[in-house]
Amino acid sequence: MFSKKDLTNIEGVIMLYAVRLQTSKRNAAKYLNVSLDTLDKYIRILEEEIGVQVLTTSEKGCSLTAQGEKVVENIKYIKQCLDNLYTIKVSESDMKGEVHIVYDLNVRGLICAKAVQELYQQYPEITLCVDNVIGPPNMADIRYDISLSYEIPEGDDLVVIASRNIPCKFFATQEYLNINSYPKDLNDLVKNHHLIIVRNKWKDMSNMTHYKSKFCKGISFTNNESMVNDVAVNGGGIGMMPFYSDKMEERLVCLDYLDCPTNNKLYLVSHKSRKDIPKVRVVLNYYKKMIESL
């Protein structure tokens, strides 16, 4: 049987894990909606109970000790117990409640919303809670059930539900092409046109052209593919984007006669412990079908 001390120590582990996620005690207290004094108290009690220091503080902030890192590894067991309870609750309440999703902002938001009305029509009591990040999501953050990204996210206990190679193509508006002409080849594109490209794709591009420097005239770099789309749709140049963009943007012309040297791999990921929760499984199936239709 759990004692009051056991429950206090479990709360201490949760608070320590929040410090690790939020990188400071003040941010962790705000995240958990408790006072800083309460957080300090529970972590101090945890240290006294297990007999090791779990947190160090310096001018740069606070960080977990090696022993503290071992302590927070137990959060996955605590979360597993809670997930088992939530599974029972969800099965009894049918398809209701929130499903938390995080996706790389480079995965176009329109993909995620493409047929969401069909999902809501079938399951009106499911709520999608979506956060955006730039780069691989952190699925170690226990708030998230599902991630969609071009790289496998960080975190333990993860499983890839679906993946697909997404070739890239070049896109521009007809108005831009009427004024500036169609590029004859990749060298002509780089030399005589305004190219909009995600920064980490330039290496592939430069290997297929005479132009090795990033400082070529008329090239715009960004870390966000949505920005590439926005500039291209507004006639600002020729954007390198995933091939499905022409299905989603009527104003864009796909220059499919040009060989594009790069591609993306799209990953749909969930936690092994959550993927079969009914409400999560429904949303996973929605995204899986969507990826297969691209």
- Residue 41, number of CB atoms within 10 A of its CB: 15
pLDDT at 268: 94
Query: How far is it, in rounded angstroms, from Cα 290 to Cα 103?
Result: 15
Query: How far is it, in rounded angstroms, from Cα 129 to Cα 98?
Result: 7
* Per-residue three-class SS string for 252-285: EEECCCCCCCCEEEEEEEEECCCCCCHHHHHHHH
Convert the pLDDT of each residue in 163-189 to its tens digit. Answer: 988 888 999 999 999 999 999 999 899
Decide if pLDDT at 92 tops 60. no
Residue 212: pLDDT band (50, 70, 90) is confident
Residue 90: pLDDT band (50, 70, 90) is very low
pLDDT at 270: 94
Query: How far is it, in rounded angstroms, from Cα 36 to Cα 30?
Result: 8
pLDDT at 161: 92
Residue 55, strand partner residues: 64
Convert the pLDDT of each residue in 70-79 to its tens digit. Answer: 888 888 777 7
Mean pLDDT of the chain: 83
Decide if pLDDT at 91 tops 70. no
| Average pLDDT score over residue span 191-216 | 81
pLDDT at 84: 67
Decide if pLDDT at 60 tops 90. no
| Average pLDDT score over residue span 261-277 | 88
Query: How far is it, in rounded angstroms, from Cα 162 to Cα 269?
Result: 7
Residue 291: pLDDT band (50, 70, 90) is confident
Domains defined along the chain, listed by start? 4-73 (1.10.10.10), 76-164+265-293 (3.40.190.10), 166-263 (3.40.190.10)
Decide if pLDDT at 240 tops 70. yes
Convert the pLDDT of each residue in 108-166 to its tens digit. Answer: 655 656 567 778 888 888 888 888 888 888 888 678 899 998 888 888 889 999 998 88
Convert the pLDDT of each residue in 252-267 to its tens digit. Answer: 999 989 988 888 888 9
Tell me the CA distances in angstroms from 40 to 7, 63, 249, 262, one per residue in order: 16, 14, 52, 50
